[in-house]
Amino acid sequence: MSYSSSGGNAWRSDAGVPPHAFDPWLQPELFRGVLTRRVVAFLIDLIVLSIPVVLAVLFIAVFGLITLGLGWVLFWLVSPASIIWALLYYGASLGGPHSATLGMRVMDLELRTWYGAPGYFLLGAMHAVLFWISVSVLSPLVLLIGLFNGRRRLLHDIVLGTVVINNSVRSQVAPAARPY
C-alpha cells in the first residue's frame, strides 16, 4: 500500500496503477462475439496479405521466362519480402487511426491497450510476431486461452497488454488519449 499525496490522508492499495479500461463485468457487450469475429478477420487479413505476394511471384515467374531463367533468381526475395510486408501491414494498420487491420475493420473490431489507449506501430508489429510465434510453437490450440478469460484475450494479447473490443459499442467507452 502506498500513501496518496492527492487525497490527503487517503491510502491506496493499487500502488498508483490505473484500472483496466475495459471491464468484462461492467461492459460485457465489448467482448460479445470477439473470438469468432477475430477468426474471420484473420482470414480476411490473410487474403489481403497474400494478394501482393501472389502478384510478386507471378511477376517473377514471367520475368524469369522473359530473361530465359535469370529472373528466377529473384524468388529468394519472396520469403523475406513477405515477412517485411506482413510486419508493415500489421504495424501500420494496428498503429493507424482505426487501431485495426482491414479484416478487423470489416468485422468491427479494434485493438486497444489494457488501459484504453489505441495501438501504435511497434505494438502492431509485435502483435503479429507474437501471434505467429505462439501459433507455430504451441499449435493453434493456444487460441483456446480466449475461452477462459472475460476479455477474450489470447496469449499474445496477454503478453503485450492488449485487448480487442467490439468497435460498434466503443462509443460507450470514453476514448483515451494517444500515448506519444
Q: What percent of the chain has pLDDT over 90?
A: 56
At 4 the pLDDT is: 45
pLDDT band at 5 (very low <50, low <70, confident <90, very high): very low
Q: What is the pLDDT of residues 20-50, one digit of tens each?
A: 677 777 777 888 889 999 999 999 999 999 9
Residue 157: pLDDT over 50: yes
The domain limits of the chain are: 20-172
Which residue(s) pair with 111 in the sheet? Answer: 164
pLDDT band at 142 (very low <50, low <70, confident <90, very high): confident
Averaged confidence pLDDT in the chain: 85
Give the CB-side neighbour count of residue 141, counting CA atoms within 13 A.
Answer: 3
Q: In this predicted model, which residue has the larger pLDDT, 109 or 171?
A: 109
Indicate the burial class of 96 (C-beta count within 10 angstroms; 0-12, 13-18, 19 or more): middle
| All cell numbers assigned to 159 | 503478453
How far, CA to CA in Å, does 152 sit from each of 27, 32, 69?
A: 13, 9, 50
Query: For the residues 82-92, what does the mean pLDDT come to?
Result: 97
Q: What is the pLDDT of residues 98-134, one digit of tens each?
A: 999 999 999 999 999 988 899 999 999 999 999 999 9
At 13 the pLDDT is: 53
